[in-house]
Amino acid sequence: MATLDSLKQALREKAKATASSPKQPLSATQYSAGFNILMRGSGWITYQDFIIPQLSQLLALLFNSRIHISALEIGPGPKSILGYLPGRLKRKVRKYTAFEPNGLFATRLEEWLYSTSETESPLPCLENPPNIHRIPFVLQNIGSGTSTGTGNNDEKYDIILFCHSMYGMKPKHRFIERALEMLVERPQGGIVAVFHRDALHLDGLVCHRTASFPTGVVSVADDDEVLDCFAPFVAGFIMQAVDVDKAIRVKWRKVCRALGRREETHPDHLLFSSPNVMAAFTQHAITLPELMAQVPLAKGDKIVKNREARLHRPASIIRPTKVRHVQQCVRWALKHGVGLTVVGGGHSGHCLWPNVISVDMGAFDQVHILTAGEEDERKSDSNSSSLVVAEGGCKTGDIVTKTMAAGLTVPLGARPSVGAGLWLQGGIGHLARLHGFACDAIVGAVVISVDSGQVFCVGCVPSQHWPVGAVRPENETDLLWAMKGAGTNFGIVISITFKAYAAPTYSIRNWVVPLSDSLEAQLKLSDFDELVASKLSRNFSADAYLYWDNDQLHLGVAMFESSTSRQTFETPTPTPTPIGTVLGLEDNFKVVDSVGLFDTEMYMSGMYGENGGGKTSSFKRCLFLKRIGAVNVADILVAAVGTRPSPLCYLHLLQGGGAVGDVAADATAFGCRDWDFACVVTGVWPRDQDGTEAARTAVQWVYNVAGDLLPLSSGAYGADLGPDPRDAALAAEAFGPNRPRLARLKHSLDPHNVLAYACPLLKAPMEQKLIILITGESCAGKDYCADVWVSVFTRCTRKSLTARAVSISEATKREYAAATDADLNRLLWDRAYKEQHRPALTTFFQGQARQRSRLPEEHFLNVVYSAADVDVLLITGMRDEAPVAALSHLVPDSRLLEIRVKASEETRQVRRGCYGSNNNSDNKDSNNSGSNLTALDYRPSLIFDNDTTGNEAVKRFAEHYLLHFVHEDLQRLAHIVRQVPNFPCPGIDFRHVLGISQQPGGLALCTSLLQTHFTGDWAKVDAVACCEAGGFVYASALASRVNVPLVLIREAGKLPPPTVSVIKLSSHISSLASNNSKEKRIEMERDVVSRGSSVVVVDDVLSTGETLCAVLQLLDEAGISAEDVSIIVVAEFPVQRGRDLLRQRGFGRINIQSLLMFGGA
């Protein structure tokens, strides 16, 4: 898929080649029409998934430290992005200024920002009318004094936003510098945030944070009229002469059609890739000279190996030559609140980031060898073996060459040019089965703390290699543990001490087996796995390659045997029988030393004939697999190679087992140890196509294959995963059970996130947060229960979840205290005092709610956003009826539950006694609290009877009903659900819920979760009802598991009489997918279930709720009352508000449970 930027170049070239007549800028109307096309459909996804969350995250800290915010937006278009921030944030915006030269946009922006009697302004708390300048933000007198053209240069802002690609601003960095001058200078200063399509080159500026969104897509209708608006908008001009303009548009249409991608599902739309970036700057953006005065710069253009990284333009590359230089870099980064990247061997895409300072460790390239007995300090850690101290800039080849000369080796990787990133993140090589990973050989390290800039020595570091002033940190054990597999996240490594092994000699045998079809490929992989690889002893390792050459699929196998006794290989031994039977005669046999081993890699020499030696670039992601010969795994592997976008792409399977599995998963940070093969999915393209469509397609192929393999994998390799959103799913599976401990350590060892661009360890905020709303009658013990449940979540989960209980009424109490003489502290903490004020508080809240109709939603969102860092949030003091149905669409990525806490009148009376009030009617904690359960017209998710004293029952309830909502199995199930963008129409991110049943183990996992999550008693259920098609799949498996008969509901006309039937409106996805009639009848056999039976309805999805409503009506027709029905679905899409619909149609009292919650449509 071409990018918008490449489309722009192509359109401009076409115009240049076609006519030399003058061009002219677009009119406001033309620009506006083009902009609207861009924003339609999938264009908005970039805002929803990238710009709004990034901006919210960026501003949350800034906004927390301010009561009021003033904002300047440059070129906002017809709406301000600030209006889409969460309520808590946007209510802080009190002053809004914009430069919007497009008159149409300026007018629409003004109208949009004004509130009317029906609608509240998107920025509801502005103190003055918005100040919209209908002129461009320009720099006058560039180079000397600058001015914006408004004549008022003294205005200062907390946030300045460039949100639409800085259209027409050149040079861009000068505009940012101008904006920086306009930031407030209070202690924390303000932020200039830039969102831009494609790469940003802002010379000399250092950003506070940057992020990218490579998967943005723009979808444009393939229609002459639409393309005639869109193409000039992208090109940035029209032709002055009318006839020339007409002619050029015809050509531009062709260019759009040639470059746009069509998807089978939407052949009438053209898709263009629209990667976006964010860069945020503070007043520290211009402090690079301060650092440059202290430390040396890299000379010339430092060539990093990785091609992606080379496309990033760092603010500068520093090349420290002394330990103190590295300390100065860290201290400078801490002082100015910016991040750093580190360059080791330069093989990852994250060693350089745009507008970030890079620390090139190349000058630290010494390798020191200490043979056994030379040094006393290492006795305890290294079993007195020889040690190797390798500095942070060493390459694999340096270490292997130098140690080999001393008859030693360190288990590293296969390529000589790879650097510290390898041993700090794992390091899988041909000695892994014998000695473990490279990180397993680490016994000590010298690290610069990114919290303080101090030099830390951890573990065994020979005394002569202790830098001056180095200390042992308090958390030495944690830091050494983290260095072994996740080291790139916790400090800048000056040197690593490895224990060394005797240098072996290797024999290598290669086989190349052409495969006639997929079936043969699967059988061969299976034989290779079961008959060859699994039988090998630890000094052998067998790697496999799946690749295409000369239009044929091939299996390549390379078998390495290591031995420290040379004699073993003097005469080649015959090929062992099972291998010969499976793979035939070997192609070659070689005996090499550790250095010679570098030249024997099959992908360098044995594959692709001539092509192997050509100049290529590659992109890799690696997952761990067990049993590659199992049909389900082999199927995906073979199919993956079949879909390769370039003939050079391949899969490399490196054998694990042996010593890899001897180490416990939590003994080192690496974590993932239980696997047979590391599958390196390798996208390859010709080097001269770097940065082109071909390269992007190969990268996307790697992610697609990794996504397909992930559900079957036993983890992912953390090496080279970074902040790219496509890495998130893999990063979640890296480090096995160690991820929570690593996340905690990241908070304590890198609290300012200096190493922000390494493999992500911190959880994204709001990722499947569990929000529990605790409701119930006053004095039933809601706050008490909330506290106990918090302790259960934090104590009982091995995952060390964070949980917090908060009261939603705090906001009202604050505002009430401000408006009256009440004492806020006593309102918050003194129960009796609160009881006295309760009636007045309720009246105050009701008054506020009358003026601000969305007040409950705002309070709810404020509480949720201010607890963005917790996994489980328990909210007390809710005042809403049916809060799950009313609020879940506001937090669609979280799971929302309501627990109603009940207690008898006597118990409540006793509890109330403590607070000295007998006035029952006043003593309410919520609008509905006086009502009893049977009077409610809806059903809470769970009910807890809190009549007993003590906390045992409260705890047991949480253990029984709540803990399974945070169980990994739900996450596992969620990961099985494939996401299909733009299906069934552009803008829809389809979740293939039914596809769970097509994945190996998916149906079993899903049915077992359906069984255990049901809060009722299966023994009392008479039937499981389901509607075709999705419901059939899961309900049948579940019914068989719980041994309950099925009730099948089908489209009318498919079941034998007598039947009952009702009308069903089409479901959400069906209505998008087809133009078929929106109305159908569904029916069931009349007597298949007897009247008054207890029925559980099972469906795949709860979206708009139309299908479930029809099913409930049908059951009602058949004599099954709603009181006897429960619903359980696999996935719910809260934004479609299905629960609300069910409630409106009179089914609010039915218990509805969902295994998974998904945001989006």
Contacts with ligand FAD by CB under 6 A lie at 306, 341-348, 350-351, 361, 392, 413-415, 418-422, 424-429, 488, 492-493, 719-720, 758
Smallest separation, CB 1131 to ligand FAD (Å): 36
Sequential DSSP letters for 531-592: IIGGG--TTEEEEEEEEEETTEEEEEEEEEEEES-GGGGSSPPPPPHHHHHHH-S-SEEEEE
The Cα 170–Cα 140 span in angstroms is 12
Provide the token pair at 1104. Answer: 């708009």
Our CB check for ligand FAD shows the closer of 424 and 861 to be 424
Cα separation of the two ends of the chain: 24
Selection from 79, 274, 270, 58 nearest residue 165 by Cα: 274
Our CB check for ligand FAD shows the closer of 432 and 1044 to be 432
Our CB check for ligand FAD shows the closer of 429 and 740 to be 429
The Cα 398–Cα 361 span in angstroms is 14
The Cα 710–Cα 716 span in angstroms is 8
84 burial level (CB within 10 Å; 0-12, 13-18, 19+): middle
Our CB check for ligand FAD shows the closer of 216 and 427 to be 427
Smallest separation, CB 529 to ligand FAD (Å): 21
Smallest separation, CB 597 to ligand FAD (Å): 11
| Spatial contact of 772 and 793, defined as CB atoms under 8 Å apart | no
Our CB check for ligand FAD shows the closer of 239 and 493 to be 493
Smallest separation, CB 460 to ligand FAD (Å): 18
Smallest separation, CB 510 to ligand FAD (Å): 17
> Is residue 1147 classed as helix, strand or coil in its secondary structure?
helix
The Cα 745–Cα 451 span in angstroms is 12
Smallest separation, CB 485 to ligand FAD (Å): 11
| All residues at 6 or more sequence positions from 1021 whose CB lies less than 8 Å from its CB, including other chains | 1042, 1044, 1094, 1095, 1096
Provide the token pair at 235. Answer: 């090109």
Our CB check for ligand FAD shows the closer of 392 and 877 to be 392
- Cα 682 from chain centroid (whole Å): 22
Task: Report the alpha-carbon angle 1013-1018-1022, nearest 5.
Answer: 130
Our CB check for ligand FAD shows the closer of 652 and 895 to be 652
Smallest separation, CB 325 to ligand FAD (Å): 13
> Is residue 868 classed as helix, strand or coil in its secondary structure?
coil
Smallest separation, CB 301 to ligand FAD (Å): 16
* 966-976: burial string, b at 16+ Cβ within 10 Å, e else: beeebeebbbb
Please tell me what DSSP assigns to residue 175.
H
The Cα 598–Cα 616 span in angstroms is 18
Provide the token pair at 1023. Answer: 């039937």
Smallest separation, CB 401 to ligand FAD (Å): 16
Our CB check for ligand FAD shows the closer of 689 and 848 to be 689
> Is residue 1008 classed as helix, strand or coil in its secondary structure?
helix
**Identity of the residue numbered 671:** G
Smallest separation, CB 364 to ligand FAD (Å): 7
950 burial level (CB within 10 Å; 0-12, 13-18, 19+): exposed
Our CB check for ligand FAD shows the closer of 350 and 895 to be 350
Our CB check for ligand FAD shows the closer of 101 and 429 to be 429
| Spatial contact of 759 and 924, defined as CB atoms under 8 Å apart | no
Task: Report the alpha-carbon angle 699-700-705, nearest 5.
Answer: 100
Our CB check for ligand FAD shows the closer of 271 and 680 to be 680
Our CB check for ligand FAD shows the closer of 448 and 1005 to be 448
Provide the token pair at 191. Answer: 């932020």
Smallest separation, CB 758 to ligand FAD (Å): 5
Our CB check for ligand FAD shows the closer of 682 and 1154 to be 682
Smallest separation, CB 467 to ligand FAD (Å): 14
The Cα 1088–Cα 1050 span in angstroms is 13
The Cα 71–Cα 21 span in angstroms is 42
Selection from 1066, 1067, 1068 nearest residue 1077 by Cα: 1066
Smallest separation, CB 560 to ligand FAD (Å): 12
Our CB check for ligand FAD shows the closer of 60 and 311 to be 311
Our CB check for ligand FAD shows the closer of 418 and 742 to be 418
Smallest separation, CB 420 to ligand FAD (Å): 4
- Residue 846 exposure: Cα atoms within 13 Å on the Cβ side: 8
Number of neighbouring beta carbons within 10 Å of residue 1043: 9
Smallest separation, CB 414 to ligand FAD (Å): 4
Please tell me what DSSP assigns to residue 467.
P
Our CB check for ligand FAD shows the closer of 754 and 962 to be 754
| Spatial contact of 1110 and 1062, defined as CB atoms under 8 Å apart | yes
Smallest separation, CB 353 to ligand FAD (Å): 10
Smallest separation, CB 598 to ligand FAD (Å): 10
The Cα 352–Cα 357 span in angstroms is 8
Q: How many residues does the chain have?
A: 1161
Our CB check for ligand FAD shows the closer of 2 and 649 to be 649
The Cα 1024–Cα 1038 span in angstroms is 8
Pairing of strands 261-263, 266-273: antiparallel
Please tell me what DSSP assigns to residue 662.
H
Number of neighbouring beta carbons within 10 Å of residue 268: 9
CA distances from 22 to 223, 228, 237, 384, 459 (A): 27, 19, 10, 79, 71
Smallest separation, CB 622 to ligand FAD (Å): 8
Our CB check for ligand FAD shows the closer of 350 and 859 to be 350
